[in-house]
Structure 1
Amino acid sequence: MSNEIGSVPQPIVPAADYNEKGQVEHVNDVSVTKGHNEMKADAMEAEKMEHQMTVLEAVRAYPMACFWAFIMSFTIIMESYDVFLIGNFIALPAFTQRFGFFDEVTQKWIIATKWQSALQMAGQLGALIGVFLAGPLTSRIGYKWATLVGLMLMNATIFIMFFADSLPVFFVAQLLEGLPWGIFIANAPAYCSEIVPMRLRAPATQVLQMFWAIGSIIVGAVTYSYQKGNLETSAYKIPTALQWMFPTPLAVLMFFAPESPWWLVRKGKLDQAARSVERLGKKNQVNAHETVAMMRRVVELESEDSPNYIELFKGSDLRRTLIVCGIYAAQNLAGNLIANQAVYFFEQAGMSTDTAFALGLITSALQMVFVMLSWILTTYYGRRPIYIYGTLFNVVMLIALGIAASIPESTATRNAQASFGLIVSVIFTFAAAPVSWCVIGETSSIRLRPLTTGIGRACYYIVEIPCIFLASYMLNPTGGDLGGKCGYVWGGTAFICLVTAYFCLPEMKGRSYREIDIMFRRRIPARQFEKTVIGPEEDE
């Protein structure tokens, strides 16, 4: 019986010798071995081709894979938009005068500290629930349909926020909007890393950070135009309504997107996987037969059982889960929260509201530029050195921020605090943030990827929620009123992340998923990953 790649594989029945009672006495497994060897040869050829490709050759061979990775990454803009929107609302005069109180000390209208924290953590709490739903949902129905479910849900939840007329309703609206965020953030890095060849994994996943920056730019531009002289409800209603720009067009595009061929191979749908590969690449440059064979080889090395959360904490998958969880959690501990609260931080550093919004917009624009520059660095210099040196630089800048805030206040110290805050925000999106997406997409095993990215993002929210309360308390004049001195706190946490990454973060640049699987199973130390040689014929 033929075992073609375009059909679901059927068991190959070997020749057998029978005794006089009709019982099998001996099995000749030559046909089984032959079929396996042919598949392995095809798989080795496909992997060899991916290793030999340059970045430009990979782009030319897989143009539609780049396009669909771009479209899937665009879903992140909705979480980014809303996170920065709420952060900017806290500094928006129309919003603070409608829902806040007048502080006699600062002579400003402000939102109570507890509500500042609650509004900023509500979406994260909803997303925490969403990521746990995303893993099983995606494992069952695939990345494409799970994302479509999230987009339709997003359309519905925006209505609640638009018609909200009190802080508790805003809290509920943010909580419900967080549910689809969880689906998007769990699926996007996994899908992007699976549909592109090896050389494009870094830029395909790092584009997520670019869309995060674009979301903040849109919010900054919209709220900046309303922050001065407009105390009408339209100042926060219109930015809220603009969220509807994204879900429906994205849903239409995603309806035509190909499913991840890796997910299809896991489900045994080899003919559909081959068609998906053909849709992602150029037929004259991509051998779908060999590419699917490569995927089969990796999938067959893993367990055939249905994936479940318990497996994430067993054997070599435990280490992979801890790396993904750690890299996600570290995003909140190395300067990210200053970036997310940039406008409010600039205000507390002594800038006028107009200047604070302008600086926030400049910060977002610089972030987008530096994310694109990071594609080049990560593609050619790897993940580990960029992450470590970038985090080290931010540790120094955060401590410098704290020192500037400790000196008696003057125009010079205020400007220094604003400058250090801007530098931290930009460098975070140049090094640690985009590299994180790449590591997240590469580290998990193929079979457990939807669950691993989901639980990793859950750790992000579990760490972020208390950090939001802490950040709001430290910055708020009615709370800790630390201002730039919060740099000492975040500098300390960033240093812990730096030390942990030095000992635990492996280098996976230029590695196939088969090689990554083997190195984790062999328990290769993180600092030895780059030097370890894995032969093309090795499976264990």
Structure 2
Amino acid sequence: MAGTLDQKHDPTHVEPVSPSGDLDELEKRNIQQSEILVDANLMSNAYDAENREHAMTVTQAVKTHPMACFWAFIFCFTIVMESFDMFLNGNFVAQAAFKERYGVYVEGSGYIIPTKWQSALFQSGQCGAFVGVFLAGPITTRLGYRWTTILALIGMNATIFVSFFAQSLSVLVIGQAFEGIPWGIFIANSPAYASEVVPLVLRGALTGTLQMSWSIGMIIVAAVTYKTNQLTTEWAWRIPLALQWIFPTPLLILVFFAPESPWWLIRNGRKEQALRSIRRLGGTTTEKPEETLAMIERTVEIESKTGGEPTLLDLLKGTDLRRTIITCLMYASQNFAGNLIANQATFFFEQAGMSEDFSFQLNLINSCLQFVANVGSWFLSGWFGRRTIYLWGTAFNMTMLILLGVCASVTQNVSTNYAQACLGVIISFVYAGTLGPISYSIISETSSVRLRALSTGVGRAAYYVAEIPMIYLASQMLNPTGWNLAGKCGYIWGGTAFVCWFMAYFFLPELKGRSYREVDILFNRKISARKFKSTAIDVRDNE
């Protein structure tokens, strides 16, 4: 019922929280005098829509918004291209034909791709993506998620040519850098779009499909390279490179017919288009799309009265600075809890003592298990909070990483080799089911609606700033021409995982079940991260 307290957050068990003085008096007057926020009919519709979203179950949300789920998945599926190419390079450095063509001979280890070139292959695409994420925010703010993604898909089709026809490692590295630019746009836009088009209760599961796209890319790469590893010609790596072309064109056609985010449309004054988009996203069963439109208008109006036209500098102002820091920390932390072992799984298995063929087989098994973990994350995100999943997943992986280091430190035999390989699989599985997918949910929910396109881009940039040097260190730790630590790298990654857990414990708020309006209010009131879950917000508050 309009004007009632949000039934999902019962205020009877918490102390009332007074609004912070973060907004100055002029801003408060602007909000109170807004034509939208004094429209009784519109506000009543907004109350009803928000209460309905809080009361909606997962089953109801899927039934009433099937097309929203479909389009969110399509946008998230663009990430499969970054995953495909990232893991492709990880398999190339373990591939016999590729190593013989571009590697150097090391006594006792055979042909090996030198550490500097391993790092360059892994880092070049990420450097390009670093550029892409900064382009994504301003372009999306101007053109919208749909046309920005279409342009990136066209760019992806074009840049694959450089990698496919490369005749040297240097040209292949350049090709990867060019491909990275559209990757950056995909990874910046996908979680933002998915979080804006689906109902509140589905945000965790649908943004978590980003991690599933990584696993799908891994499975395809693992299966293809397992077969092409038997080839002794250049087609051992050119066939996998050519397969990159199977993704962009079909996705481009689908995205062309996708509805634009109604949140972006309202932010750009396109009310009628936003209403049509809401109807398309909800299908024929959506009840009262005008109420959903009112809820969006209300939230966008509140944010616009306190901010105006979004700029990158806004990410560093007021409470948005705290939100930007959380987004950057979540993205950067993906590199520090065992994920880089998963990215170089085949090479890691070889260094753990597995044969070349078995390493490729084990990588395929590992990729399939990660896909299973991704599916499991849908249910976890429905049962548990974002903060809970992140903290427990990180703590478990930290323990496994330390155990991996112990296994690599004792006298080595067949049993310890298999133990290291199994621990590598477990670490990848837990990452794919917990902190990996839930990070994307946290990232998409933390930023304000007004700054979302910019925030996800800058957050992903923080990921690349952390990943690029970590890729070098990971290659240096595993490579026989480097430090040759093998499983002992678990000590280092276990230590970095502890830092991630420590930071999250004190700074990561619980966002599960919160509307974007409620998230804005909680940050504006400067609520402690550990009190986000228990703080009640009245459905009538317009802070």
**Fold similarity call, TM over 0.5:** yes
1:187 to 189, 193, 200: 189
| Cα distance change of structure 1 residues 34 and 150 upon mapping to structure 2, 3 Å threshold | closer
- Is the alpha carbon distance of 1:30 and 1:202 closer, same or farther for their aligned partners in structure 2, counting shifts above 3 Å? closer
1:494 aligned residue: 497
Question: 1:456-471 to 2 correspondence within 5 Å?
Answer: 456-471=459-474
Alpha-carbon distance in structure 2 between the residues aligned to 1:294 and 1:320: 22
Instruction: Quote the residue 2:112 is aligned against.
Output: 110
Match of 1:322 in 2: 325
Contact 2:37 2:298 (C-alpha < 8 Å) held by counterparts: no
Residue-by-residue CA offset, 1:117-147 (whole Å, 9 max, x unaligned): 0110000000000000000000000000000
The answer to whether the aligner puts 1:252 opposite 2:253 as a matched pair is yes
Within the candidate set 467, 479, 484, 1:481 is matched to 484
Provide the C-alpha distance between the structure 1 equivalents of 2:241 and 2:287, rounded to a whole number of angstroms. 44
Of stretches 434-443 and 278-287 in structure 1, the one that deviates more from structure 2 is 278-287
Q: Following the alignment from structure 1 to structure 2, what is the Cα–Cα distance between the partners of residues 90 and 140? A: 40
Q: Helix, strand or coil: the match of 1:388?
A: helix
Deviations 1:439-493 (A, max 9, x none): 0110100010000000000000000000000000000011000000000000000
Within-5 A mapping of 1:45-444 = 45-106=48-109, 108-228=110-230, 230-303=231-304, 305-444=308-447
* C-alpha distance 194-268 of structure 1, shift in aligned 2 (>3 A): same
Per-residue CA distance 1:164-215 (angstroms, 9 max, x = gap)? 0101001100000000000000000000000001011011100111110010
SS in 2 for 1:531: coil
5+ residue gaps, structure 2: 1-31
2:283 aligned counterpart, secondary structure: coil
Shift in Å at residue 282 of structure 1? 2.7
CA 1:426–1:231 in 2, change beyond 3 Å: closer, same or farther?
same
Aligned partner of 1:5 in structure 2 is none
Residue 268 of structure 1 deviates from its aligned partner by: 1.0
Structure 1 CA distance for aligned equivalents of residues 314 and 304 of structure 2: 10
In the other structure, the counterpart of 1:536 is: 539
Q: Work out the CA distance in 2 between the residues paired with 1:390 and 1:476.
A: 28
SS of the residue aligned with 1:360? helix
- Which residue of structure 2 lines up, in the alignment, with residue 516 of structure 1? 519
Tell me the SS of whatever aligns to 2:260. Answer: coil
1:32: how far off?
5.2
- Is 2:194–2:203's contact at 8 Å kept on the other side of the alignment? yes
Residue 34 of structure 1, CA deviation? 8.9
Q: Which protein has greater RCO, CA pairs closer than 8 Å, 6+ apart?
A: 2
Alignment correspondent of 2:8: none
Q: Secondary structure at the match of 1:109?
A: strand
Q: What displacement does 1:329 show?
A: 0.2
- C-alpha deviation, 1:383, in angstroms: 0.8
Deviations 1:38-96 (A, max 9, x none): 21111111101111110000001101001101111110000000000011000011111
Query: In 2, Cα distance between the equivalents of 1:409 and 1:34?
Result: 69
Could you say if the C-alpha distance between residues 408 and 238 of structure 1 is closer, same or farther in structure 2, counting changes exceeding 3 Å?
Answer: same
Tell me how far apart the structure 2 counterparts of residues 273 and 507 of structure 1 sit (CA, whole Å): 29
Q: Which has more radius of gyration?
A: 1
- Unmatched 5+ stretches in structure 1: 1-28
TM normalised by structure 1 equals 0.93
Question: What's the secondary structure of 2:237's corresponding residue?
Answer: helix
Residues 234/368 of structure 1: CA separation in 2 closer, same or farther (3 Å cut): same
Cα separation, 2, equivalents of 1:32 and 1:154: 44
Taking the aligned partners of 1:333 and 1:317, their CA distance within structure 2 comes to: 25
Residue aligning to 1:26:
none
> In structure 2, what residue type is equivalent to 1:270?
K
Q: How many residues align?
A: 510
- Structure 1 stretches of at least 4 aligned residues deviating more than 6 Å after TM superposition: none
- List aligned pairs for 1:22-33, cutoff 5 A: none
Which shifted more, 151-160 or 378-387? 378-387
Q: Distance in 2 between matches of 1:275 and 1:117?
A: 47
Matches of 1:247 and 1:406 in 2, distance apart? 45
- Residue 33 of structure 1 and its aligned partner are, at CA, apart by 8.3
Amino acid at match of 1:523: K
Instruction: Specify the SS of the correspondent of 1:281.
Output: helix
Q: How much has 1:37 moved relative to structure 2?
A: 2.1
TM-superposed CA distance for 1:286, in Å, is: 2.8
- Matched-pair contact (CA < 8 Å) for 1:206–1:371: yes
- Cα offset, 1:105, TM superposition: 3.3
Contact 1:278 1:286 in 2 (8 A): no
- Asked if the contact 2:65–2:282 (Cα under 8 Å) also holds between the matched residues in 1, the reply is yes
Residues 493-521 of structure 1: CA deviation (Å, up to 9, x unaligned):
00000011111111111111010000000
Map of 2:18 onto structure 1 = none
The letter for the 1-side match of 2:260 is: E
User: Which residue does the alignment assign to 1:24?
Assistant: none
* Counterpart code for 2:175: A
Q: Is the 8 A contact 1:346 1:418 kept in 2?
A: yes
Task: Tell me how far 1:31 sits from its aligned partner.
Answer: 12
Q: Distance in 2 between matches of 1:30 and 1:164?
A: 61
State the one-letter code of the partner of 1:483.
A
Structure 2 letter corresponding to 1:178: G
1:303 is displaced (CA, Å) by 2.9
* Residues 265 and 403 (structure 1), Cα distance of their counterparts in 2 relative to 1, 3 Å cut: same
Question: Helix, strand or coil for the counterpart of 2:239?
Answer: helix
Partner of residue 7, structure 1: none
Q: Please give the secondary structure, in 2, of the residue aligned with 1:128.
A: helix
Contact 2:36 2:298 in 1 (8 A): no
Match of 2:221, SS state, is helix
Aligned partners of 2:334 and 2:463 also within 8 Å: yes
SS in 2 for 1:447: coil
Matched-pair contact (CA < 8 Å) for 2:36–2:301: no
- Preserved CA contact (<8 Å) 1:323 1:504: yes
Query: Bigger CA drift: 154-163 or 411-420?
Result: 411-420
Q: Is the 8 A contact 1:507 1:527 kept in 2?
A: yes
